[in-house]
Amino acid sequence: MAQSAGSGRTVILTVDDDPGVSRAVARDLRRRYGDGYRIVRAESGETALDTLRELKLRGDQVAAVLADYRMPRMNGIEFLEQAIDVYPSARRVLLTAYADTDAAIDAINLVDLDHYLLKPWDPPEEKLYPVLDDLLESWRAGSHRLVATTKVVGHRWSARSSQVREFLARNQVPYRWYSSDDPEGRRLLEAAGAAADRLPLVVAEDGTALAEPDDTELAGLVGLATTPEEDFYDLVVIGGGPAGLGAVVYGASEGLRTVLVERSATGGQAGQSSRIENYLGFPDGVSGAQLTDRARRQAARFGAEMLTAREVTGLEVNGAARTVHFSDGTSIAAHSVLLATGVSYRQLDAPGLAELTGRGVFYGSALTEAPSCQGHDVYVVGGANSAGQAAMYLSRGARSVTLLVRGPSLTASMSHYLIQQIDRTPNIHVRTGTVVASAHGTEHLERLELRDVKTGGTETVDTQWVFVFIGAAPLTDWLEGTVTRDERGFIVAGPDLAVAGRPPEDWELDRPPYHLETSVPGVFVAGDARAESAKRVASAVGEGAMAVMLVHRYLEQS
């Protein structure tokens, strides 16, 4: 049942199925807006819709609707979809937990969402009232325009369109997607004066439009930092995965002039994980995107600088300085460098896959594509945790998810808790001893040919979606001739250097290398790029923090 305070004033409606949360939201709203607005609360989507219809019949105005995302029977997005029909000009806000930020970003496309707020919003003076002040002001202005957001116009089966959407999503940039075949998409193309064959088109909040932008142009367009503020730092961290983010947070919090350089988006492979359930302190699990967003905001609060869409091409020793060179010919220098470049998924070597990459064939989770998999048959290649997490996430909407595993079982490479979850999910099927032999399709993926590794027999299956997780290769080729790497390209550090034969012959200092120090003094490595690393999120974060401690030791002795 809906409850209200007063009558005859413009309404702010809040709906949450948790009575305690519902009362808390209403309390905070009344404290700030009770003099000018009537605060109405409901504890279910159905009740809230009935209330809106009653208000409509009485001729009352509704300025804003705040809906919790997780409600039984009708979630917040489903409620807002129907609320639009009753009060199309009311400002729409979704209340979400950290675990639901992906759903909140999707809601921008589904229900013209004006804003989403993370719970808890304490203190409301910082996290609730400024947002609502702006939304209510825009509602009072009567323009009935949506809050500005980035727009992307592209073709459904364009590889570059998919990459742009993934870039924006992983960098936590809300956007609206328009197909170039839709009327609104064509209108935006015409307004921007862009040719239909120059896709994707990206329109920033201020109306600036770019056709076929590269990642650096795209980052600049949406306000991500790409240019360093200084020429010299105490610590340059290369790579924004868990190890790099851990190092940046600890480095900046301890007073080091710290800059993080990331070529695509912070989070690394972990940032693409739909759910991490064995990370300390998150008993209900946390998505890679949420963990990454928290770490990024934490680093920014400590004053760390973060550069996006900058590709590092070289590392040079210049006396006591370590110079990092970028692909555009510029460079920055520092007393110390941390290599946290991580790894990338290996490519499947089978006919047809390369041509269809980004058009039904995806490496990594590509979570932006998950909504398009609704009701489809999806295939996931791989037997490690990343493949299992992706299968679980995709199974929420896909008709079926088939996990293709080369080995005889999942037990050798996947965590036990994840295997149990997969066993309990009825629309996930595991096919062991199976590999992809070839892929077929014209405009996009249409069929896969699967091969049994024992018998050699093949089978053709119809599908438009395959996500590949088949092991990883270190992103260290640019370090050839600079630091010692093993035969697979992983960076050797600390005591392992003695085994590799470098110290003492090529080691400049009297002391042995520190634990995470490479063959170049003052250059450290952490995370998946390090030889013999644990390849786990928690260990990567720990190594990043440990590297900062060793950087301090190095700087004290330099």
Q: Give the model's pLDDT for residue 366.
A: 61
On whether residue 355 sits in a domain, the answer given is no
Q: Give the model's pLDDT for residue 4.
A: 44
Q: What's the CATH code of the domain at 452? A: 3.50.50.60
Q: Are residues 367 and 421 in the same domain?
A: yes
Question: CA-to-CA distance for 83 and 135, rounded, in angstroms?
Answer: 17
Domain boundary among 158, 187, 218: 218
* The two structure tokens encoding residue 498: 């003695």
Q: Where are the alpha helices (DSSP H) in 34-128?
A: 45-58, 76-86, 101-111, 124-127
Rg of the Cα atoms in the chain:
26
The answer to pTM > 0.75 is no
On whether residue 353 sits in a domain, the answer given is no
Q: Are residues 12 and 117 in the same domain?
A: yes
Q: Are residues 175 and 248 in the same domain?
A: no
Q: Are residues 120 and 22 in the same domain?
A: yes
Q: What is the mean pLDDT of each run of 10 residues along the chain (558 residues)?
A: 53 93 92 94 92 77 92 88 85 81 70 80 88 90 58 90 90 88 84 85 87 95 95 97 96 97 88 79 79 90 96 95 97 98 89 94 78 92 92 92 96 93 96 97 95 96 95 91 93 84 66 93 96 91 97 92
Q: Are residues 137 and 31 in the same domain?
A: yes
Domain boundary among 427, 443, 470: 470
Q: Say how many domains are in the chain.
A: 4
Q: Are residues 263 and 327 in the same domain?
A: yes
DSSP structure string for 42-69? ESSHHHHHHHHHHHHHHT--EEEEEEES
Question: CA-to-CA distance for 306 and 297, rounded, in angstroms?
Answer: 11
Domain boundary among 124, 141, 158: 141
Q: Are residues 453 and 372 in the same domain?
A: yes
Question: CA-to-CA distance for 474 and 515, rounded, in angstroms?
Answer: 20
Q: Are residues 111 and 167 in the same domain?
A: no
Q: Are residues 243 and 172 in the same domain?
A: no
State which H helix or E strand residue 467 sits in.
strand 465-468
* The two structure tokens encoding residue 440: 């077929």
On whether residue 223 sits in a domain, the answer given is no
* The two structure tokens encoding residue 138: 């825009």
Q: Are residues 163 and 261 in the same domain?
A: no
> Does a cis peptide bond (omega within 30 degrees of 0) precede residue 123?
yes
- Partners of 96 in the β-ladder: 118
Question: CA-to-CA distance for 81 and 101, rounded, in angstroms?
Answer: 18
Q: What's the CATH code of the domain at 192? A: 3.40.30.10
On whether residue 227 sits in a domain, the answer given is no
On whether residue 373 sits in a domain, the answer given is yes
Q: Are residues 46 and 167 in the same domain?
A: no
On whether residue 26 sits in a domain, the answer given is yes
Q: Are residues 288 and 332 in the same domain?
A: yes
Query: Residue 459 is part of which domain span?
Result: 361-470
On whether residue 131 sits in a domain, the answer given is yes
CA 411, 413, 419, 422 dihedral sign is negative
Q: Give the model's pLDDT for residue 144.
A: 42
Q: CB of 173 within 8 A of CB of 211? A: no
On whether residue 517 sits in a domain, the answer given is yes
